[in-house]
């Protein structure tokens, strides 16, 4: 049930004609009674900001952090569309609000898909009454399906806390880079919390999940993560709520890493022993964005020299004589040079779906981890044209 698992929420997903062949492409998550509830959002830091991001950010500010619904479309990002794009995003909110009987500022809007192409607003506008009419507590799967683009499957999760629930859905399969990803995510909870608390909880959850996902070093124009709280379960411990929201975000981030375009490996990359956490993060990003390293992961080749080179060129404190690199439980480099190791165990680890790689710089207590992937022919095939 994902976003409708918490009490007080309904959802729907229908075909509006943005995509071809009848695919679901218009999604709604709303309060069951159309009444606004506390809400918070985290948005892309890309200055090439899509119209729906601008509109949703403005609506949250105007409403004081309250929302009754989120309307989302896939197949068109409504990005780089100028003033008309903002008008179209506002119209999506206006029409949804009219059907729900709430204020326009209590509707948030998200879009995902192709950039620089005008939104087929006439088709979307015509479909909104049917979308709102279809809302139901059983509509979560359709809502999650309707936001997919190059995702091979919908992404949903439910986290059950002590007396409350967090439900979530997301899309994301490429352009996954800090901060966040080419992603949309809507989280709901029946816990009671004020907007300021939700904003803090969501920002912390995003920092520990979506911001640690780096597939191709490219940042989207549309990244949006939203959290709505119905309050039906009453007040809960804010720490417990924060933990549940963080768990939901980590689950979704892991699903996105596993479904990244063309990926055959999910790489759990950790840099330790850095001079600072910032150095560790910078070094990890350098490795994750190296095409040579990513190709070696695709080939199941534990070529640690590429990782060493990436760290040495990352612009961080580095001494090759202190470097240790480990794949799984197998150390292949110590003191900056190759060491004897169990080649069979290493080959078995490299053949798996999940690779765990640790680089210890031996300089301090700095540490950072992130999720990334290999680089495959399928990624190139997907992205060599407009997609």
Active site residue ranges: 182
In angstroms, rounded to a whole number, what is the distance separating the alpha carbons of residues 386 and 58?
Answer: 30
In angstroms, rounded to a whole number, what is the distance separating the alpha carbons of residues 358 and 342?
Answer: 17
In angstroms, rounded to a whole number, what is the distance separating the alpha carbons of residues 194 and 341?
Answer: 54
Give the rounded distance of the alpha carbon of 202 from its chain centre. Answer: 12
CA angle 368, 374, 379 (to 5 degrees): 130
3-class DSSP assignment, residue 332: strand
Joined tokens for residue 24: 């679901």
Place of tokens 């939700």: 198
Let me know: does 108 contact 195? Beta carbons within 8 Å.
Answer: no
Q: Going by DSSP bridges, is the β-strand pair 354-360/266-274 parallel, antiparallel, or unpaired?
A: parallel
Sort 34 into a burial class: Cβ within 10 Å, 0-12 / 13-18 / 19+: middle
Q: Going by DSSP bridges, is the β-strand pair 354-360/337-338 parallel, antiparallel, or unpaired?
A: unpaired
Strand partners, 368: 271
């Amino acid at each position: 049930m994902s976003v409708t698992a918490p009490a007080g929420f309904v959802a729907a997903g229908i075909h509006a004609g943005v995509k071809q062949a009848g695919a679901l492409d218009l999604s709604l998550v709303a309060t069951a009674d159309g009444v606004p509830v506390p809400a918070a959002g985290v948005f892309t830091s890309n200055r090439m900001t899509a119209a729906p991001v601008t509109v949703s950010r403005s609506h949250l500010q105007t409403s004081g952090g309250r929302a009754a619904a989120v309307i989302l479309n896939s197949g068109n990002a409504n990005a780089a569309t100028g003033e008309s794009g903002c008008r179209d995003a506002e119209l999506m909110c206006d029409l949804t609000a009219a059907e729900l009987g709430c204020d326009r500022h209590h509707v948030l809007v998200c879009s995902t898909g192709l950039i620089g192409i005008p939104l087929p607003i006439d088709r979307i506008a015509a479909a909104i009454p049917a979308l709102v009419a279809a809302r139901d507590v059983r509509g979560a799967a359709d809502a999650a399906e309707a936001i997919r683009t190059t995702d091979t499957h919908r992404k949903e999760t439910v986290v059950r806390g002590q007396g409350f629930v967090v439900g979530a859905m997301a899309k994301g399969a490429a352009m996954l880079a800090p901060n966040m990803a080419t992603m949309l995510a809507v989280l709901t909870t029946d816990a009671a919390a004020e907007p300021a608390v939700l904003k803090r909880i969501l920002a912390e959850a995003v920092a520990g999940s979506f911001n640690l996902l780096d597939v191709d070093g490219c940042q989207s124009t549309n990244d949006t993560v939203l959290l709505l709280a119905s309050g039906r379960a009453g007040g809960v411990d804010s720490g417990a709520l924060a933990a549940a929201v963080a768990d939901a975000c980590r689950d979704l981030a892991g699903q996105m890493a596993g479904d990244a375009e063309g990926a055959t490996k999910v790489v759990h990359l950790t840099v330790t022993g850095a001079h600072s956490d910032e150095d560790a993060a910078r070094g990890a990003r350098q490795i994750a964005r190296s095409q040579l390293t990513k190709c070696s992961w695709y080939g199941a080749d534990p070529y640690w020299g590429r990782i060493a080179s990436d760290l040495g060129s990352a612009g961080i404190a580095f001494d090759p004589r202190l470097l240790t690199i480990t794949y799984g439980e197998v150390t292949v480099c110590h003191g900056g040079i190759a060491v004897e190791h169990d080649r069979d165990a290493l080959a078995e680890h490299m053949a798996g779906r999940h690779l765990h790689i640790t680089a210890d710089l031996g300089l301090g207590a700095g540490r950072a981890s992130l999720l990334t992937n290999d680089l495959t022919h399928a990624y190139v095939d997907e992205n060599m044209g407009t997609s």
